[in-house]
Amino acid sequence: MEQVRHTVEEIFNKDFKKTAIQGYNTNDVDSYLDELMADYQTYESNIKELQETIENQKREIVELTKQVNANTAAAATSNQVTSSANTNMDILKRISNLERKVFGAPEDK
């Protein structure tokens, strides 16, 4: 980012050389105004650069939020599948235990 050359105090306190007929030297005034114009162009450039940075960061936040939401949804789905598999396994074990109690333990041969 470029630096602004003049502060508000400098602009306010600027003294121009006076000519013999109680006027200001036009070259001094013109060069100072040229410097001020350059400063304001720099200022506008800095603002535009910062606005672009803000917009890029907003887009990045949106993208990262989408990724987090997708990862959270995937993790939830994975937990549901794991939970479902564990529940099915528990049910099969219970059925097996009930069959053993009802029909007796298989005979060893």
Residue 90 token pair? 């528990």
48-82: per-residue pLDDT in tens?
999 999 999 999 999 999 988 888 877 777 766 66
Beta strand residue intervals within the chain, DSSP E: none
Instruction: Give the C-alpha separation, 84 to 13, whole Å.
Output: 78
User: Is residue 27 within 8 Å of 35, Cβ to Cβ?
Assistant: no
pLDDT at position 108 over 60: no
The whole-number pLDDT of residue 49 equals 94
Q: What is the dihedral of CA 32, 36, 37, 41, to 10 degrees?
A: 150
Phi, psi at residue 24, to the nearest 5°?
A: -100, 150
Q: Against a cut of 0.75, is the pTM above it?
A: no
